[in-house]
Amino acid sequence: MVPGVRLLILGKQGAGKGTQCVRVARHYVVPHISTGDMFRAAGRMGTEFGLRAREFMDAGELVPDEVVIGVVRERINQDDTANRGFILDGFPRTTEQAEALWDMLAPRGIDLAIDLELPTEQALRRLASRRVCQVCQTNYSTENRPKHDWTCDNCGGEVVQRDDDREEAIRRRLEIYEASTEPLIAWYLERDKLVTIDAMGNPDEVFARLVRAVDRRRGVHG
């Protein structure tokens, strides 16, 4: 079996990509590479790049392809990903990004693209109740709160609502998902790299489905 796993996760906003990637990264001991988290961190640092990315994000728009591709290329060429693999969260989101990634990873490529499938009304419910640690990005919700007020259980950071979890930005993000990202499901299916996972149910149930699918692809039986 080839060591390490090379995975990416697709799915609409609120499908649970970030929630599952944290678990996948721990399970397979691979870095979790989230373009959204990288841009939010740059925004908090107040760099010129971060502030520009934040303008796109807060409006629910995509950061331009050439910027995102450059950021991922730099990250994916680091030693940890080359040796152990990765799980990509939120990249690619356009056909141009998918093609760039395909070229970057040749000849081995990715093992699997995982599509987390969730009805839109469920995703909207999850987004409305989501709260996130500003520092380590751990997810909470109005039903699953930190133990002490809105202070992160992991790192003590402040837990807040994301700036793009406002009604108008959510609507725009979902429109863009349908127009630009959903076509990637067929793109990976045509290349025999796609698995679709039902994202209903609690996070542990979804995670069990996901690991079964990845291990099946890697030829691990259990």
| Active-site amino acid positions | 17, 93, 130, 162, 173
* Residue 138 sits in the site that holds ligand AP5 (CB under 6 A): no
Of the candidates 8, 47, 11, 14, the residue with the CA atom closest to the CA atom of residue 170: 14
Among 10, 25, 32, 39, binds ligand AP5 (CB under 6 A): 39
Site for ligand AP5 in 90-109 (CB under 6 A): 90-93, 97
Contact 39, 57 (CB under 8 A): yes
DSSP-assigned states of every residue in 145-207: --SBTTB-TTT-PBEE--TT-SHHHHHHHHHHIIIIITHHHHHHHHTT-EEEEE--S-HHHHH
Within 41-60, which residues bind ligand AP5 (CB under 6 A)? 56-57, 60
Question: Of 11, 18, 60, 146, which one interacts with Mg ion (CB under 5 A)?
Answer: 18
62 binds, among ligand AP5, Mg ion, none (CB under 5 to 8 A by kind): ligand AP5
Residue 137 touches ligand AP5, criterion: CB under 6 A: no
3-state DSSP: the chain helix, strand, coil percent, rounded to 5? 50, 15, 35
Looking at beta carbons only, is 4 or 36 nearer to ligand AP5? Answer: 36
Q: Which of 178, 206, 207, 185 is nearest to 113 (CA)?
A: 185
Contact map string, positions 66 to 95, toward ligand AP5, x by CB under 6 A: --x---------------------xxxx--
Q: Kindly state whether residue 19 participates in binding ligand AP5, applying the rule CB under 6 A.
A: yes
Residues that bind ligand AP5 (CB under 6 A): 11, 13-19, 35-36, 39, 56-57, 60-63, 68, 90-93, 97, 126, 130, 139, 141, 164, 173, 201-203, 206
